[in-house]
């Protein structure tokens, strides 16, 4: 893997334990939070994180599967995408 | 550089609600080194060559899909036109080559393989003739193989012998796949000015000016453009063009990123990015809907050609700014069967074959995925092809015909193809004969604008 930063987005109805649940899975996969923004728009919870990982031993597919699973438990939609997907698209 | 949360949410919204996708990742593979007089050896060479280049194509593409979170709908292969690669084979029947292509495509797991093709704009060789004769059987006996024949260019004119032949070929292909509504014809395109780097089926082939192995990407986003245009508050045409350009820019950037990464991981060259608005049967992913968003009550009514011209040009401008590798067809596709808005427009009676032909003067490709009555004669099909080839030749642009005389159907019936091919309402054709015109043969000479050397 060439670079190792990912954007993680969490969107769904607000409830207790979303941040705790998501960050626990991240910790289990040694994914570090570089930046985090969270807002609640009326009762819709949105969280955007810039996450860093050690390039060598990181298993993206396994991490994405674990994040989807916790998202399902918590009733939120979680996306894990390489940061280039956003950098490239909007900027020259 | 900070990534703005609004940009992140915009991207995610484009993918999850507006059908933004990479439509195709297409690996172009040269088969020029495979030639052999014995067709069995040739087939073996072709099989080995494709497998060695594309074995990891699907797996790698899927990795990139998950890395960036952008869906890639189709993985495809295009090869050197078989008429060229198989020319030296001592046989008249190339259908075993189609079967070889189909087998290797199945094994690799790609959706389509294109290149059962010939370029005959100025005349035919022995190999070209064999290939065209083999097309109906090849399309009936395979699942994934796509065929195309280039019968005209601005430089060479229109090969009317080939046009006449293709009308008959379409009829045969329809009859041989009559039990499946003539689906063979959905895998056959007749071109004028065919681009050699086009990743879109059924017209994809690996041109002779291309490198050994290349990755071309086709990006699509009618849903995204539609949403952007509809979100504008009482816009002028200038505002609409500006909005489409900006959206096309973003879509193009995404495609270039994906294409370059796939190419890098497969040690292939990155070829072109084809930025096209190619609809899908999904609701909301429609080119007709964009035209209607500009203020037309139903696609096909007066004003449709102007709206399409604006759309097509704005897409190209946005793409040209975003990438230096824009190629292929790039523009708006208007296939009928694959676009819910087009299907509705035909059913309402606002969109006719004649209006579609007019629209092809200002957009990509041409008469695409149109079903006509099963009893349409070969000469009428040839005449429809000739008209479309003339538009391409005179306007120095690519045009194509992909038309299906679905056996046993009449005007007003619906023909179901399934998947990305969708379903098409059977459209009426003119009942006056073109028989004598098509029987004339020879070549329509190249227009004066061909003398540009």
Structural domains of chain A, with CATH = 4-89 (3.30.70.260)
Contact A9 B12 (CB under 8 A): yes
> Of A50, A64, A90, which has the smallest distance from its Cβ to B7's Cβ?
A90
With beta carbons less than 8 A apart as the criterion, state whether B106 and B57 touch.
Answer: no
With beta carbons less than 8 A apart as the criterion, state whether B3 and B50 touch.
Answer: no
Q: What is the band of A55 on the pLDDT scale with cuts at 50, 70, 90? A: low
Q: Which residues of B touch A84 (CB under 8 A)?
A: 68, 257
Shortest CA distance to B202 belongs to which of B368, B12, B30?
B368
Q: What is the band of A1 on the pLDDT scale with cuts at 50, 70, 90? A: very low
> What digits encode the pLDDT tens for the residues B158-193?
999 999 999 999 999 999 999 999 999 999 999 999
Query: What is the average pLDDT value for chain A, to the nearest integer?
Result: 88
How large is the C-alpha radius of gyration of chain B? 21
Q: Which residues of B touch A11 (CB under 8 A)?
A: 12
Token pair 């991981």 is at which residue?
A: B265
pLDDT for B205 beyond 60: yes
Contact A86 B11 (CB under 8 A): yes
CA distances, B145 to each of B24, B48, B103, B142, B425 (Å): 16, 17, 10, 6, 24
What is the pLDDT, as a whole number, of residue A2?
46
Closest CA in chain A for residue B257 = A88
pLDDT for B432 beyond 70: yes
User: A5 at the B interface (CB within 8 A)?
Assistant: no
What is the pLDDT, as a whole number, of residue A28?
93
Q: Which residues of B touch A68 (CB under 8 A)?
A: none
DSSP state of A33: E
Q: Which residues of B touch A87 (CB under 8 A)?
A: 1, 3
Contact A48 B5 (CB under 8 A): yes
Q: In whole angstroms, give the CA distance from residue B97 to residue B77.
A: 15
pTM across the whole model: 0.91
Report long-range pairs for B52-60 (Cβ below 8 Å, ≥24 apart): B53/B27, B53/B29, B53/B213, B53/B268, B54/B27, B54/B29, B54/B108, B54/B110, B55/B108, B56/B266, B57/B25, B57/B27, B57/B108, B57/B110, B57/B266, B58/B108, B58/B109, B58/B110, B60/B262, B60/B265, B60/B266
With beta carbons less than 8 A apart as the criterion, state whether B223 and B18 touch.
Answer: yes
Residue B59 CB neighbour total at 10 angstroms: 13
Q: How far does A9 lie from chain B, in Å, by closest CA?
A: 8
> What digits encode the pLDDT tens for the residues B240-271?
999 999 999 988 988 999 999 999 999 999 99
Mention every residue, 6+ apart, whose C-beta is less than 8 A from residue B349: none
Percentage above 70 pLDDT, chain B:
100
> What digits encode the pLDDT tens for the residues B355-390?
999 999 999 889 999 999 999 999 999 999 999 999
What is the pLDDT, as a whole number, of residue A44?
84
HSE of B328 in the Cβ direction (CA atoms, 13 Å)? Answer: 35
User: A83 at the B interface (CB within 8 A)?
Assistant: yes
Q: How many residues does chain A have?
A: 92
User: A81 at the B interface (CB within 8 A)?
Assistant: yes
Q: Which residues of A touch B253 (CB under 8 A)?
A: 88-90
C-alpha B142 chain-centroid distance: 19
């Amino acid at each position: 893997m060439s670079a190792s930063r990912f954007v993680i987005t969490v969107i769904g109805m607000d409830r207790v334990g979303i941040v705790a649940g998501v960050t626990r899975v991240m910790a289990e996969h040694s994914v570090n939070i570089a930046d985090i923004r969270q807002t609640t728009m009326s009762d819709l919870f949105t969280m955007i994180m810039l996450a860093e990982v050690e390039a060598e031993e990181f298993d993206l597919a396994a991490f994405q599967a674990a994040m989807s699973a916790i998202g399902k438990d918590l009733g939120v939609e979680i996306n894990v995408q390489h940061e280039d997907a956003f950098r490239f698209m909007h900027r020259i | 550089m900070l990534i703005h949360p609004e940009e992140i949410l915009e991207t995610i919204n484009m993918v999850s609600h507006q059908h933004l996708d990479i439509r195709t990742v297409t690996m172009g593979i040269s088969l020029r080194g495979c030639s052999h007089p014995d067709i069995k050896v040739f087939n073996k060479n072709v099989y080995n060559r494709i497998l060695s280049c594309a074995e990891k194509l699907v797996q790698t593409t899927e990795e990139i899909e998950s890395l960036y979170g952008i869906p890639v709908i189709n993985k495809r292969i295009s090869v050197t036109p078989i008429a060229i690669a198989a020319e030296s084979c001592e046989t008249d029947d190339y259908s075993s080559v189609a079967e070889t292509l189909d087998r290797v495509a199945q094994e690799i797991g790609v959706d389509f393989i294109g290149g059962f093709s010939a370029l005959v704009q100025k005349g035919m060789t022995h190999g070209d003739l064999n290939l065209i004769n083999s097309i109906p059987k090849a399309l009936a006996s395979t699942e994934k193989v796509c065929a195309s024949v280039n019968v005209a260019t601005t430089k060479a004119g229109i090969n009317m012998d080939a046009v006449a032949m293709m009308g008959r070929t379409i009829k045969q292909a329809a009859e041989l796949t009559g039990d499946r509504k003539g689906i063979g014809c959905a895998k056959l395109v007749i071109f004028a000015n065919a681009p050699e780097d086009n990743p879109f089926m059924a017209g994809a082939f690996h041109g002779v000016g291309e490198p050994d192995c290349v990755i071309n990407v086709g990006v699509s986003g009618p849903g995204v453009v539609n949403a952007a245009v509809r979100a504008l508050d009482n816009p002028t045409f200038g505002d609409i063009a500006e909005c489409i350009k900006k959206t096309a820019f973003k879509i193009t950037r995404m495609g270039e990123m994906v294409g370059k990464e796939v190419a890098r991981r497969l040690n292939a060259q990155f070829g072109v990015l084809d930025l096209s608005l190619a609809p899908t049967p999904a609701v909301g992913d429609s080119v007709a809907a964009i035209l209607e968003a500009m203020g037309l009550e139903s696609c096909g009514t007066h004003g449709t050609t102007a709206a399409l011209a604006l759309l097509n040009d704005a897409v190209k401008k946005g793409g040209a700014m975003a990438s230096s590798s824009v190629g292929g067809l790039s523009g708006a596709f208007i296939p009928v069967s694959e676009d819910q808005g087009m299907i509705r427009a035909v059913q309402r009676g606002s969109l006719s074959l004649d209006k579609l032909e007019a629209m092809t003067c200002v957009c990509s490709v041409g008469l695409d995925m149109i079903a006509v009555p099963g009893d349409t004669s070969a000469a009428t099909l040839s005449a429809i092809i000739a008209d479309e080839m003339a538009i391409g030749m005179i306007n120095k642009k690519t045009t194509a015909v992909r038309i299906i005389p679905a056996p046993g159907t009449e005007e007003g019936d619906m023909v179901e193809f399934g998947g990305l091919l969708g379903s098409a309402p059977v459209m009426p054709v003119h009942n006056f004969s073109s028989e004598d015109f098509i029987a004339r043969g020879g070549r329509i000479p190249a227009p004066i604008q061909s003398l540009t050397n």
